[in-house]
Amino acid sequence: MIYGLIVLLFSAIFAKAFHVQILEADFLQSEGNKRQIRSLEIPAPRGEIYDRNGKVLALSTPIDSIWVDPKILSFYLDPAQQQAQLLKENLTTQQVAKRKALIDAKYLAYQQMLKLLNVSEETFTRQVLAKKNRRFMYVERGVLPELSAQIEDLDVPGLYVQNQYKRYYPAGEVVGHLIGFTNIDDTGIAGIEKTYDDWLSGHAGKKQIIKDRAGRVIEFVKDIEPAEPGQPLVLSIDEDLQFFLYHALKKAFIRHQAQSIMSVILDAQTGEVLAMVSLPGFNPNDRSQLTGNRLRNRVIADRIEPGSTVKPFIVAKALDLGVLHLDDEIDTRPGSLRIQGQRITDTRNHGVITPGEVIKLSSNVGASKIAFKMTPQQEWQMYHDVGFGQDLGLFLPGETLGFIRPATEWQKIDQASASFGYGFNINLMQLAQAYLIFANEGKIKPVSLLKLNKVPEGTQVVSKESAQAVLGMMEKVAARKGTAPQANIEGYRVAGKTGTVHRTKIGGYEQNKYISLFAGIVPVSNPKYIMVTAINEPSRGIYYGGKVAAPVFHEVMQEALRLNNIPPDEVLEEGAP
């Protein structure tokens, strides 16, 4: 009987062992792994952003986030929980003393952690206790790895460190509007960072780990999926030119006490954007600055009436149609013109002038009379062909297209107003792109924020002869008796056009608030740069484009020509020193 019982007992043990180790081995192993083995996400850095010369404009740096499990941590912060647990365990006096000493040590570590992170103990403790049934709560994000290592060594109950990456912009405010920034989760939400977020974003990897009961990682098992960094991006921007433009605009912004100021520089041959600045600006490395109007990239987001900067297009179109000739005489006397009850005026009576003098002297009356040689549809078509009111293809967030009414809705006063840049609006980048026709023998080219490998072909808008003739006329603008002599650069031929427009308001125009503009091309013999600048509401009593915006062109282009060793092209007259 005893022998039989022993056999039955061992048979039962063997049967159970067989059931556990053979029949349910996979299930039990899986359940065990669920309690010990975890998948840890390996963060991936975003791709770097470079300028055209390989200088870093944006990169990802390692950063950590500190979080806690309130359900675990709350026990060490709540005396009531501690007392209830001690009573439940029915410990001896000595065991209670040891347990309380451990709790006190953990609480001290908790206090040290908050002190290192500069977090209010009273406030944070109240938040943890209020969420004591939850399993996740951030303490601080964006913590340097050196500091997070110190905090991890404190061994605070329920505390974890999450490895991440943070975007850093070496040039700071200089490239703020252009590059944009990412949010706290490293997702692009402005500028280039948003436009090319899919390209720049990395793909997080996964690693298998084993954790103990306290949730600490005690062993790495294997890599499940490697992290893939984001793709790098090479922009058309020249950081040196961006730097010169930013500092020149900053000085002009302060000097003229303007509301805002913006400028863009294009490669005159390729249409690449070499620099783009808008002020007031912001430093993308300082999250306290990422609010309000300062985030507007005004170069593409602000609608402006271009004013007299469009007169060269009117003259070019009229020449191209054959309704105007270089030696035609245009009577602007007595310096004003009345159309449908509206009075159009010049700064003074220029008398009888040529088309070139209409541009040089910036005559509104002359521009209107030239426009009347065309049909409204022909004038509108010129503006359409150079890209006014159309998508630039840059896909930057916040871009506005501007608005120009169909020619079928124009009255005679609308045609006249449009000839000197009133009655419609565009953004500054559209104006800069339009000036490409004068640098490319009448061809318009797309603008690009990415470095190009070849020069775009372009689309013919006006004839080569018309474009070159108007380019020569604009050269007189920067001459001694033109409207922008301060744009002149010694040793170089400069072509340009000024513009001074009243600020718009609901139902009309502000009487004493202006936008000052200057668009320039240099050097004329072989155009390299196009630069367009707009200064909004200069308030020091000077507001003409030739006095306010043209000097900025001179300052920046002088540095750009020197920096890139562009040879002088000005031919001195015989006998000149």
pLDDT confidence of residue 575: 45
Distance CA 466, CA 318 (A): 9
Active site residue 308: yes
Which residues are CB-neighbours of 81 under 8 A, at least 6 positions away?
Answer: 74, 75
Strands 205-211 and 37-42: antiparallel
Strand residues in 416-494 grouped as ranges (E): 443-444, 459-460
Cα–Cα separations (whole angstroms), residue 439 to 76, 311, 421, 433: 73, 16, 21, 10
| Torsion 366-368-369-370 (CA) sign | positive
pLDDT confidence of residue 184: 85
Strand residues in 233-335 grouped as ranges (E): 233-234, 260-267, 273-279, 330-331
Distance CA 506, CA 302 (A): 16
| Torsion 5-8-14-15 (CA) sign | negative
Strands 56-68 and 159-168: antiparallel
Give me the architecture of the 239-283+298-563 domain, per CATH.
3-Layer(aba) Sandwich (3.40)
Distance CA 135, CA 114 (A): 19
H or E element, residue 241: helix 239-255
pLDDT confidence of residue 38: 64
Active-site residue, from 148, 236, 308, 466: 308
Contact indicator for 421, 443 with CB cutoff of 8 Å: no
pLDDT confidence of residue 208: 66
Low-confidence ranges of the chain (pLDDT < 70): 27-40, 208-223, 571-577
CA torsion angle for 419, 420, 423, 428 (degrees, to 10)? 110
Model pLDDT for residues 108-167, shown as the tens digit of each residue: 999 999 999 999 999 999 999 999 888 889 999 888 888 988 998 898 988 888 888 889
Is-cis flag, bond preceding 355, omega within 30? no
Upper half-sphere CA count for residue 437 (Cβ side, 13 Å): 29
pLDDT confidence of residue 16: 82
Write down the domain spans for the chain. Answer: 39-228, 239-283+298-563
Quick one: 39-228 is in which CATH superfamily? Penicillin-binding protein 2a (Domain 2) (3.90.1310.10)
